[in-house]
Every structure is written in C-alpha cells, then in structure tokens.
C-alpha cells in the first residue's frame, strides 16, 4: 500500500523527486495537488 501524502495526508499518492534547500529528496510520496503546489512555490523561490 502506498504511503499517504507527506504534505497533507491524502491517500492517493505517487513518488516524486524534490529539490529543497540544495538537497534532492527522492521518492517523496505526494498527492498530485500537493506536488504541483510545492513545485510552483519552489520554482518561484
């Protein structure tokens, strides 16, 4: 069973790669909405 979204707790997740604070986090379980919102915010930063 896939883990819940680490950002919001939603059950429907996929694994994504995130680059935050010069660190690459691989296989982060996120729902699609959270991934898009986080990616947008990180791109703006």
Partner 1 sequence: MIFGDITVLHVDDDAAIRDLTAEFLEAVDDTIDVRSEPDPNAVPARLDAEPLDCVVSDFHMPECTGLELCSAVRNEHPWLPFILFTSERGEELAEDALSRGATDFVRKATGTHHYTILANRITIAVTRHRAIQRLREVDALPNGWPPAAATPDRETSRTSESEPEGGFDS
Q: Which residues bind partner 1 (CB under 8 A)?
A: 4-10, 18, 20-21, 23, 25, 28, 31, 33-34, 37-38, 41-42, 45
**Residue 41 CB, nearest approach to partner 1 (Å):** 5
**Residue 21 CB, nearest approach to partner 1 (Å):** 5
Three-state DSSP string of 1-45? CCCCCCCCCCCCCEEEEEEECCEEEEEEEECHHHHHHHHHHHHHC
**Residue 15 CB, nearest approach to partner 1 (Å):** 11
């Amino acid at each position: 069973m896939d883990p819940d979204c680490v950002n919001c707790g939603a059950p429907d997740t996929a694994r994504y790669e995130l680059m935050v604070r010069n660190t690459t986090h691989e296989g982060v379980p996120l729902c699609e909405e959270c991934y898009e919102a986080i990616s947008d915010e990180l791109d703006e930063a």
